[in-house]
Amino acid sequence: MSSGIVHVIGAGLAGLSAAVDLSRRGVRVALHEATQQAGGRCRSYFDATLGMEIDNGNHLILSGNHATLAYLDLIGAREGLTKSSSASFPFVDLKTGERWTLRANEGPIPWWILAPARRVPGAPLSAYFELSKLLRPPASAAIGETLHCAGPLYERLLEPFLMSALNVEPKEGSAALAASVIRETLAAGGRHYHPLTASDGLSKSFVDPALRFIGWCGGSVHFGQRLRGVKLDHARAVQLDFADASVPLSPADAVILATPPQVAGELIPDISTPTQFRAIVNAHYRVTPPSGVAPMIGVVNGMAQWLFAFPGRLSVTISAADHLLDEPRDALAARIWRDVAAVAEITGPMPAWQIVRERRATFAATPEQDAKRPHARTAWNNLSLAGDWTQTGLPATIEGAIRSGVKAARLAAPT
């Protein structure tokens, strides 16, 4: 094992998972974060408008996200997630007023699709068998080229599911990335897609325990350290230039670049990165969820796409939301609230609210952009990449970010 230091640049989930994996194996770690807090797009903060702590985005974990659960086990934080007892997903169609719950069985043979009460209403049994076309598609195909994107099953299940997973309009999304998600969840049996939510906030589950773990293992964490440049020779990185100091790298040192793709592309111009991104809009309302409202509800034929219920708060996530970026905040909050009130069956005025718009939330998960994602290994033998935008085989998800961090850590310090 190397006796040098592995410098991890970026304390989002990819950087945290890399630092945690290295720390677990006794490798010396220095974690550098440009801002004053860790977590990146997966963190909590106190919102003065609402007077409460909220997450900057709503993230869903599934029971088949093995890398994510292994990470949480390692940092002692799995109890921070609330797990549904079954693979059940309630939906509301705001156009027709219909409500139903998709209820899958646990095993890999999907007998639940034979029971009309457990599947999508209006979707014929034959439509489910059409999904086999999406399991092994050509690498460069879009979903719209692979699957008939119409009908009740698509509109009431696949479209909301794939839009949230890929953060693009599903028809233009990568069929290969959609297939990877489906193979690990829907096609693997209900035990692999029980929903889990961080009921006490993302930071308490994913971030704070990781920072403590790294500290317990002797690693160091440095906030407010923005990397301005990486000095490279023909074979390795030899120096890190931060805003206030330069750090020479010994022959035993290594670097994991776990920054956003645009930052990585500026620091290492020779690497390929995605160039197109999509927005996500989250709306938070300070209101006690009515009794009986499920922790998560899919919304069909509305502006809202997924409604999450937390103590004292209802939150909405809207993916592929570039069309909402320029709408005035108060008008946007009011439009989304109408959906929330209809789904949760709430009367009365709109409560205190907050809108969080992530303009470049994820790379656009199209076949063209997927092809631009770099591998973790670079041309420099002590420099590796991590991030949900690297070639993980998954779209930009928590699971992909954590897998990328572990992979980069194994390249930086092989065992």
Same domain, 238 and 372: yes
259 in a structural domain: yes
Domain at 299, CATH number: 3.90.660.20
Query: Within 13 Å of residue 239, how many CA atoms lie on the same side as its CB?
Result: 10
Give per-residue pLDDT as tens, 56-94: 889 889 999 999 999 999 999 999 999 999 999 999 999
- Give the strand pairing for 81-83 and 195-198: antiparallel
Same domain, 186 and 288: no
Report the distance separating Cα 306 and Cα 291, nearest Å. Answer: 18
Same domain, 105 and 188: yes
177 in a structural domain: yes
Report the distance separating Cα 161 and Cα 164, nearest Å. Answer: 5
345 in a structural domain: yes
Domain at 402, CATH number: 3.50.50.60
Report the distance separating Cα 136 and Cα 138, nearest Å. Answer: 7
Same domain, 233 and 371: yes
Same domain, 315 and 385: no
404 in a structural domain: yes
Same domain, 238 and 343: no
Report the distance separating Cα 157 and Cα 306, nearest Å. Answer: 12
State which of 161, 193, 225 marks the end of a domain: 193
Same domain, 178 and 250: no
Report the distance separating Cα 284 and Cα 286, nearest Å. Answer: 7
Same domain, 282 and 353: yes
Give per-residue pLDDT as tens, 20-52: 999 999 999 999 999 999 999 999 999 999 999
Residues of the chain with pLDDT under 50: 1
Same domain, 318 and 248: no
135 in a structural domain: yes
First to last CA, the chain: 6
State which of 143, 167, 193 marks the end of a domain: 193
Same domain, 239 and 387: yes
State which of 363, 382, 401 marks the end of a domain: 363
Same domain, 106 and 220: no
Report the distance separating Cα 53 and Cα 40, nearest Å. Answer: 16
- Give the strand pairing for 277-285 and 353-363: antiparallel
80 in a structural domain: no
245 in a structural domain: yes
Sign of the dihedral through C-alpha 229, 230, 233, 239: positive
What total number of domains does the chain contain?
Answer: 3
E strand map for 187-245: 195-198, 220-223, 227-232, 237-242
Identify the helix (H) or strand (E) that includes residue 44. strand 44-47
Same domain, 266 and 372: yes
Question: Do residues 315 and 284 make contact, with C-beta atoms less than 8 angstroms apart?
Answer: yes
CA dihedral 189, 192, 198, 203 (to 10 degrees): -150
* Max CA distance (Å), the chain: 66
165 in a structural domain: yes
Residue-number span of the structural domain to which 22 is assigned: 5-44+202-275+366-412
Pull the structure tokens for residue 322. Answer: 């570039």
